[in-house]
Amino acid sequence: MEVSDLQSKVYNFVKENNLETKIESRLLDLVSEVGELSKEVLKGSNYGKEKFENTDEWINEFGDVLFSLICVANKTEINLEVALDKALNKYGKRFNEKGNISSVK
């Protein structure tokens, strides 16, 4: 299966802008970006007191997480479509067996 257009787009951007780095840095960046996305959920819901409201900053942070995740996939030679298909198959099997997708027994 070929690499997705998104993966190619990110790969080319990283190459063109000389943004290559070690996997450890990529993974730490992903974790950091997920933290920033979480902060936007807290702000957008007034720390869980109100219904979450989508904002431009939420979209920006979501894009940062997606970029970082794709960088990790590219760095480790993971095809996102193959990985997603495997996850969906796993979740489908769990749902059929247990009625939910949780890994908790």
pLDDT digit string (tens) for the chain, length 105 residues: 566 899 999 999 999 999 999 999 999 999 999 999 999 999 999 999 999 988 999 999 999 999 999 999 999 999 999 999 999 999 999 888 888 888 877
What is the tally of structural domains in the chain? 1
> Which token pair is 21?
């780095």
pLDDT for residue 24? 97
User: What CA–CA distance (Å, rounded) separates 102 from 105?
Assistant: 8
pTM: 0.87
Domain, as residue range, for 68: 5-78
In a domain? residue 101: no
Q: What is the per-residue pLDDT for 6?
A: 93
Q: Which amino acid is at 34?
A: V
Whether 95 is covered by a domain: the verdict is no
Instruction: Please indicate, yes or no, if residue 84 is contained in any of the structural domains.
Output: no
Residue 45, domain CATH = 1.10.287.1080
Q: Is residue 87 a part of any domain in this protein?
A: no
Cα of first residue to Cα of last residue in the chain, in angstroms, is: 33
Would you say residue 74 lies in a domain? yes
